[in-house]
Amino acid sequence: MHALSTVAASKVKAIVALVMAFVAGMVDIIGYISFGHMFTAHLTGDTVHLGQHFVQQEWTGVASAGTIILAFLIGSIAGRTVIEAGSRLKIRSIATAGLLLEACLLLTVMFFWSGSQLLLLALLAAAMGMQTATLTRVGPLTVHTTFVTGMLNKLAQLLSHTAFLTYDVLQGSHAAIAPRLKVMLQARFIFGVWFCYLLGAVAGTWARSLWQTRALLLPIGLILLLVIVDGISPLSIEEEREASER
């Protein structure tokens, strides 16, 4: 019974991770379109921009890129702090706290849309950092729902491993059949994370063109839906276990 419940929980977390990736894609593109073409989750690009603007002495760009990186880091630290507090206090649905904080940050951006661009970028980046820390593992896989470079690299590893296992199966190795299926399912999931991020970017571009400031209502609504899921099937148990083992 426990094994079945663990499998069911992993499936729920996998679906949640896909929804989170969709949310991140939406938030990232809405922020990019709205506030000076700066990404709030893609910190690799922001780091490159930071170096470029510093050399070119474009201090507004330096401030924007630096603020995003710092805010994302602070949001991620806050998210991990919440997880560790949940571990110490034995709170099973601690992901709710991180999700609600993320929703509040997005709601603040929506209400103060015409305010300081730098502050709004910081709030969006902090929300993405918070989300990154809230869900980091699905079964044996490390998952990043707010940036997909690592996910594509992991996909490449899994596809390569699948190719070798397929060769073993074709050579008559029955022992490779089950591992091959497992790796293929993992590859499908990782591809799904990337694809949902892409879908989020598509949906975010469309929603921003139609609804302007209200475009963030969709990701906020999805996050609140995940809060309900966390109340039924706690999402951050593995993250809490990692915190307690440190």
**What was the pLDDT predicted at 243?**
55
Q: Show pLDDT as tens, one digit a residue, over the chain (246 residues).
A: 344 356 677 889 999 999 999 999 999 999 999 998 889 988 888 899 899 999 999 999 999 999 999 999 999 999 999 988 888 888 888 899 999 999 999 999 999 998 899 999 999 999 999 999 988 888 778 888 988 888 999 999 999 999 999 999 999 999 999 999 999 999 999 999 999 999 999 999 999 999 988 999 999 999 999 999 999 888 876 665 665 555
**What was the pLDDT predicted at 135?**
87
What's the one-letter identity of residue 20?
M
Three-state DSSP class for residue 157: helix
Domain region containing 174: 2-245
**What was the pLDDT predicted at 241?**
61
State both tokens at 16.
């949640």
Read off the pTM.
0.91
The per-residue DSSP string of the chain comes to: -HHHHHHHHHHHHHHHHHHHHHHHHHHHHHHHHHTTT--SS-HHHHHHHHHHHHHTT-HHHHHHHHHHHHHHHHHHHHHHHHHHHHHHHT-TTTHHHHHHHHHHHHHHHHHTTTS-HHHHHHHHHHHHHHHHHH--EETTEE--SS--HHHHHHHHHHHHHHHHHHHHHHTT-GGGHHHHHHHHHHHHHHHHHHHHHHHHHHHHHHHHHHHGGGGGHHHHHHHHHHHHHHHHS-S-HHHHHHHHH-
Q: How many domains does the chain have?
A: 1
**What was the pLDDT predicted at 4?**
37
State both tokens at 220.
């906020």
- CATH number, residue 123: 1.20.1250
Q: Looking at the DSSP assignment, which residues form a beta bridge with residue 107?
A: none
Give the length of the chain.
246
- For 63, residues 6+ apart whose C-beta sits below 8 A from its C-beta are 118
